[in-house]
Amino acid sequence: MTPRDQHPGSAGSTASATTQPLRSDAERNRARIIAAARTVFGRDGLGASMASVAREAGVGIATMFRRFPSKEELVAAVFADRMDAYVQATAEALADPEPWRGFTGYIETVCAMQAADRGFADVLTMSLPGAEALEACRAEAYQRFLELIARAKDSGDLREDFTSRDLVLLLMANAGVLSATGDDAPDAWRRLVAWMIQSFRAPARGALPDPPEDAALYQAMRRASLGIASPETGSGR
């Protein structure tokens, strides 16, 4: 807190006059940081440092950490609306009367969301336990995706050996393609997704290796997030 000059007997009026601008300044800084983080994470992914976000926002690193003590908290604030859209996509897919179209439409929508925002591509392939609201959205979307799988299998369109873990693997693969191709081949991901959707369709054209265990896949997602969750001094991850 910055010391304030007060006239005797005027403490109440002075506090009222000075506190509100401080709240307004804090809110402006918070909004500026979130807007800057959208730009930086969307361009560079979640590996971008908090210092680079602070520079983009035009605030000091101390101000950054006052508003967002951890990177996970910043990530949660930046991607809250996108995670809401992610959940909404599952609801819209379940509302489609044709199970296969709902299933494939959802996959295409989510992969397109990854392509539109490199930072969000990272979010979808990481587990961020410190971002509770974000993880709650992920869990809700996951449960709805299980329903999409069941419907598509019941209709005979989805091969029986498909599991929810196959979506995680696809999102990881898509994130890798997006990172590698960048601006040079911006639509390359579409071919990958189209190939994968065709491979998901029944009848199966051959046996597959067993999918990774849930615990192993979670650890992979958690490990991917460790670099962005650790405290920073402004020099990178």
Planar angle of CA 70, 75, 81, nearest 5 degrees: 145
98 and 126: one domain?
A: yes
- For residue 129, the model assigns a pLDDT of 78
**How many structural domains compose the chain?**
2
- For residue 227, the model assigns a pLDDT of 57
Task: Give 4's contacts (C-beta < 8 A, 6+ positions apart).
Answer: 14, 18
94 and 181: one domain?
A: yes
Examine residue 7 and state whether it is found in any structural domain, yes or no.
Answer: no
73 and 84: one domain?
A: no
Residue 22's CATH number: 1.10.10.60
186 and 99: one domain?
A: yes
Question: Tens of pLDDT along 45-83?
Answer: 888 899 999 999 999 999 999 889 988 889 889 999 999
Tell me which residues of the chain have a pLDDT lower than 70: 1-22, 226-237
- For residue 3, the model assigns a pLDDT of 39
Q: Residue 123: what are its φ and ψ, rounded to 5°?
A: -55, -40
Under a CB-based contact definition with an 8 Å cutoff, are residues 126 and 76 in contact? no
Examine residue 235 and state whether it is found in any structural domain, yes or no.
Answer: no
134 and 193: one domain?
A: yes
Residue 96's CATH number: 1.10.357
Cα distances (Å, whole numbers) of residue 124 to 19, 112, 171, 175? 39, 12, 7, 9
Q: 77, 112, 146: which is the final residue of a domain?
A: 77
Examine residue 155 and state whether it is found in any structural domain, yes or no.
Answer: yes
- For residue 235, the model assigns a pLDDT of 37
Examine residue 233 and state whether it is found in any structural domain, yes or no.
Answer: no
Q: 44, 61, 77: which is the final residue of a domain?
A: 77
Examine residue 42 and state whether it is found in any structural domain, yes or no.
Answer: yes
Q: Give the domain extent around 201.
A: 79-226
Examine residue 12 and state whether it is found in any structural domain, yes or no.
Answer: no
Q: 50, 77, 104: which is the final residue of a domain?
A: 77
